[in-house]
Structure 1
Amino acid sequence: MNMILTTSSFIFPLITVPYVSRVIGPDGMGAISWAQTFVSYFSLVAVLGINTYGIREVAKVRNDREKLSVVTQELITILIISTTIAYAAFLVTIFTLPKAREDKPLMLIFSISIWMTSCGINWFYQGIEQYGYITTRNILVKLIGLILIFIFVHQSSDYYIYALILVLGLVGSNLFNLIQLHKYVHFDIKHKLNLRRHFKPLINFSISSISAGMYVQLDMLFLGFFGTNKAMGLYQLVTKIRTIGYSAVNSVGSVMLPRLSYYASRENSHDKTSQLVAKNLNFLFIVGLLFIASITICAKPIILILGGEQYLGASVALIISSISILLSSANTILTQYMIACGQEHRYATINVISLIGGIILCFIFIPAFSIAGAALSGVCIEILTLLLNSFFLRDFLREIMKYLDFIRVFIAFAISFTISSLFAYRLIGMNPFFQLLINTTIFIIPYMILLLIFKESFIYYSIKPILSRFTKNT
């Protein structure tokens, strides 16, 4: 179901991004991206790490309606309090910080998302593994948003309307969440809520969640301070493409936390945990390298399709940033393992170090290299995080090494990338869409064949049942 949701994440941006990027232009898109990034920092503080902590706690008690109801009420109460404080701080900031005062209406529009992000309770539905509902809801809301964009956004001055549609999409998703909640929990005021029991574990989750959310968006934040709206507009297209790639690569890994938490709460489930993590690492390595190859070879065609010629200045930044797709996905899986095993203190330590390192990197690279520097700082931050994750989980990684097929995958990637690169030069000047289609096909075919020849475990055991059935039928 999450892969279906990911597919929709491909289709809708492929329709909306080319249209909106051309209509609103780099300057308008840059202003929107800056406002979104700035407001998202207050949302991070408001949520207090409950987006992750809530998944784990809900997963533990998902089979007990009474306990599930109590936990949900307690976490929602904490969120209401924290969001009120965060929103008050936001209002003070936009009237005192010069950069934030430049476009107050846009800031106020996006500030609605502070409440919607906090009260959206996505963590609840992920915790009980209701991925069918999550997928249906998201596709429906995206479809409504798509229709509204084509009806109301027609010129560059409509960027306020576009911002409002983005926020309304979030409002709609979260309203569905709240309406559906009564099916799974009951709100009984007779229950005595014990908010204090969540404070201690939430300290680590808050530190880790806030610092992780901050370091992931440091490139956008500092580019907004050091660069222009046009630079932000070019780079926001890079981040959109990167986000699409990350969502695809992490489509399997992102649903791991509830199942890992469930295994962690059961005895004699360590082997299942190890195999699950290893299987997902193999999957993300295969798909991550595919995206890196496609973006590296077809950076200009991709930008021409999604943004147009006015965004071609982002080509180098896009190629650099593509590496983050693989790195950030690997970090997500290792992080989920830590959280499921109750190692949130390590998670917090890693994210704080990464945040500090990221700030230093942004100060070094962005003023010197603009959007290419923003992309480079983002990659370096992910490398730093991966090194820290690998250090803290070194014993576990040694244990699952026997399940990993990284060497086979990389050899297949290197050969396929070389073949595809040789053909790419002959396609220059062709229609961008056909360039992308042909180059990607030329990479994928030898890539998949080589993975099968090398008997890479994920691909081989995924296709083996299909081949067995086909052989029997013939």
Structure 2
Amino acid sequence: MNKQLKHPKIRSVKFNVVMNTILTTSTFLFPLITVPYVSRVLGPDNNGIVSWAFTFVGYFSLVALLGFNMYGTRECAKLRDDRARLSVVVQELLVILICSTTVVYIVFLVFVFVLPRTHAELPLMFIVGTSIWLSACGAEWFYRSIEQYEYITVRNILFKITSIVLLFIFVRQTNDYLAYAAVTVLGTTGSNILNILRLRSFVTFSRRYSMNIRRHFKPMFAFSVSSITSGMYGQIDMLLLGFFSSNYALGLYQLVFKIRNICTGVGGSVTSVMLPRLSYYEAQKGHEHTTRLMAKNFNFLLMLGLAIIAALIICADPLIMILGGSNYLSGNDALRIGAPLVLLGSIGSMQSQYMVASNQEKTYTYTNVAGLVIASILECLFIPLWGIKGAALGLVLTELSVYCIRTYILRDFMKQVRQYTDYGKIVFAWAVAFLCAGGAYYLIGRWNPFVQLILIALVFCVSDGGMLMLTKESFFTSMLKRKR
């Protein structure tokens, strides 16, 4: 290659987690600014239809991506030290993505004009539909494979800041939901344009390459099916609610959906950086390194997930009052019912990362297909019966079922991980802290919502941390020693 390429600096897992945590924190903080504003300006009806449009379009984006978030990350991570072979693979994968996205977008247009639900909102569907191209051709998987989390974080935050400024300028009335959709597309996927422009700094594109695109089809198939089915059952509650319920019910549930996704993203800041490192360990350093890394993350996710579940159950009302206002309080029970998804989703994601890293993508695919089938049945049964509460319950039972299936399949590996964990002490400490925080909420239930959240968080953290220290939980005490 004649062109001098950049050699990305590979940071430690801790640095990557910190960067991803900053990104996830921004994903939490920015909605704290935008969601209360948009909820009050647009109201439940317009908010609901915009959220449903993004869910509907998201299904087409999933198909267009063909599972590249995992497959592309794994394949490029294996070759990150061989720039010539890496360039060939990246070029092959981009050709596949351009072809798949073209086909998917044509199908999307057919659905938009045929379905009454989408045909009634043509301008909205076309605006949101641009995210199909931006998501599929953004090559986010490449930057994750070379562990450029610093770049990913800075780029995303800058675009989010820009979208917030535009939001306050252009979204000022109830009917400004089209402007809100455009700003959201810019904030969530607009930064992917920079990804493509920056690719030439790391890889070389050339017609002289002898490309073998067909070699990706067979291994990619499992990733495609698993990614599509996983993404489908993860959002099927919102999608089917749009067909079974009114825009008002969608408006209530979209706030619950956003709060839940923000919280799930906190755990995702850990799990999403694991695939490149797990793939590297499995290929280079051996299974013992993988086991210890997984055990540390399971410990952390259990502590974090249980804490968030407590917050969602105890503080559902103040959270909804802050982020949406009194018009959305009817969604509090759905938020409480869906709280376990935060923990189940994060741990399930870690299990999935291990399956992919250890070349068990077929098994991973089967579990996701099972999840889609279970979710479809449960949502079609529960939504007509219990509305948004049924939507939340159906997804919780689906995630629990898929977690049990994965745990059974990985039972031997999970036994190895269990040697380095302390689940009993973590759950005991959480139970004590939950009771203390619940009692505190009972006493201050009529106070200002912001004050309630702060005080409940303090009570829970002190109680939980204190119990973990008293029981000498291994992971927590080891982290304290390191800080010293």
Does the pair score TM above 0.5? Answer: yes
Matches within 5 A, 1:392-403: 392-403=409-420
Task: Determine which of 399, 421, 425 is the counterpart of 2:442.
Answer: 425
Partner of 2:16: none
Change (3 A) 1:318 1:81: same
Task: Determine which of 46, 52, 57 is the counterpart of 1:34.
Answer: 52
Change (3 A) 1:222 1:405: same
SS in 1 for 2:138: coil
Partner of 1:87: 105
SS in 2 for 1:325: helix
Aligned-pair CA distance for 1:169 = 2.3
Q: Percent identity?
A: 50
Partner of 1:289: 306
Alpha-carbon RMSD:
0.9
Superimposed CA distance per residue, residues 118-138 of structure 1 (whole angstroms, 9 cap, x where no aligned partner): 001110000000000011001
Matches within 5 A, 1:428-467: 428-467=445-484
Aligned-pair CA distance for 1:145 = 0.5
Partner of 1:52: 70
Q: Which amino acid aligns with 1:410?
A: V
Whether the 8 Å CA contact 1:299–1:318 is kept in 2: the answer is: yes
Distance 1:444 1:235 in 2: 29
Q: Is 1:243 matched with 2:267?
A: no
Q: Is 1:103 matched with 2:104?
A: no
Aligned-pair CA distance for 1:459 = 1.8
Partner of 2:6: none
Q: Is 1:332 matched with 2:344?
A: no
- The unaligned stretches of length 5 or more in structure 2 are 1-18
SS in 2 for 1:63: coil
Distance 1:337 1:191 in 2: 33
Distance 2:28 2:65 in 1: 27
Q: Which amino acid aligns with 1:358?
A: A
Task: Determine which of 87, 90, 96 is the counterpart of 1:78.
Answer: 96
Aligned-pair CA distance for 1:244 = 1.0
Aligned-pair CA distance for 1:172 = 2.7
Whether the 8 Å CA contact 2:421–2:475 is kept in 1: the answer is: no
Partner of 2:230: 212
Distance 1:458 1:183 in 2: 40
Whether the 8 Å CA contact 1:116–1:170 is kept in 2: the answer is: no
Partner of 1:309: 326
Distance 1:258 1:293 in 2: 32
Distance 2:111 2:303 in 1: 44
Q: Is 1:130 matched with 2:136?
A: no
More off after superposition, 339-348 vs 450-459: 450-459
Task: Determine which of 26, 43, 66 is the counterpart of 1:8.
Answer: 26
Task: Determine which of 422, 425, 430 is the counterpart of 1:405.
Answer: 422
Partner of 1:173: 191
Aligned-pair CA distance for 1:364 = 1.1
Partner of 1:358: 375
Distance 2:29 2:414 in 1: 35
Aligned-pair CA distance for 1:426 = 1.1
SS in 2 for 1:213: helix
Whether the 8 Å CA contact 1:222–1:362 is kept in 2: the answer is: yes
SS in 2 for 1:377: helix
- The unaligned stretches of length 5 or more in structure 1 are 468-474
SS in 2 for 1:281: helix
Aligned-pair CA distance for 1:409 = 0.5
SS in 2 for 1:250: helix
Q: Is 1:190 matched with 2:190?
A: no
Task: Determine which of 46, 57, 80 is the counterpart of 1:62.
Answer: 80
Partner of 1:17: 35
Distance 1:98 1:362 in 2: 22
The normalised TM-score by structure 2 is 0.95
Partner of 1:349: 366
SS in 2 for 1:157: coil
Aligned-pair CA distance for 1:457 = 2.5
More off after superposition, 131-140 vs 454-463: 454-463
Aligned-pair CA distance for 1:404 = 1.4
Whether the 8 Å CA contact 2:134–2:190 is kept in 1: the answer is: no
Partner of 1:387: 404
Distance 2:378 2:188 in 1: 32
Aligned-pair CA distance for 1:171 = 4.5
Q: Is 1:416 matched with 2:442?
A: no
Superimposed CA distance per residue, residues 128-172 of structure 1 (whole angstroms, 9 cap, x where no aligned partner): 000000110011010001111111111110010000111122453
Aligned-pair CA distance for 1:453 = 2.0
Distance 1:171 1:275 in 2: 35
Distance 1:334 1:231 in 2: 33
Q: Which amino acid aligns with 1:153?
A: V
SS in 2 for 1:455: coil
Whether the 8 Å CA contact 2:57–2:132 is kept in 1: the answer is: yes
Whether the 8 Å CA contact 1:250–1:284 is kept in 2: the answer is: no
SS in 2 for 1:167: helix
SS in 1 for 2:153: helix
The normalised TM-score by structure 1 is 0.97
Aligned-pair CA distance for 1:225 = 0.6
Partner of 1:229: 247
Whether the 8 Å CA contact 2:61–2:135 is kept in 1: the answer is: yes
Partner of 1:472: none
Partner of 1:471: none
Q: Tell me how many residue pairs correspond in the alignment.
A: 466
Distance 2:309 2:188 in 1: 30
Distance 1:230 1:377 in 2: 20
Distance 1:81 1:192 in 2: 19
Aligned-pair CA distance for 1:10 = 1.6
Superimposed CA distance per residue, residues 213-251 of structure 1 (whole angstroms, 9 cap, x where no aligned partner): 110011001100101111111111111111111111221
Distance 1:456 1:121 in 2: 41
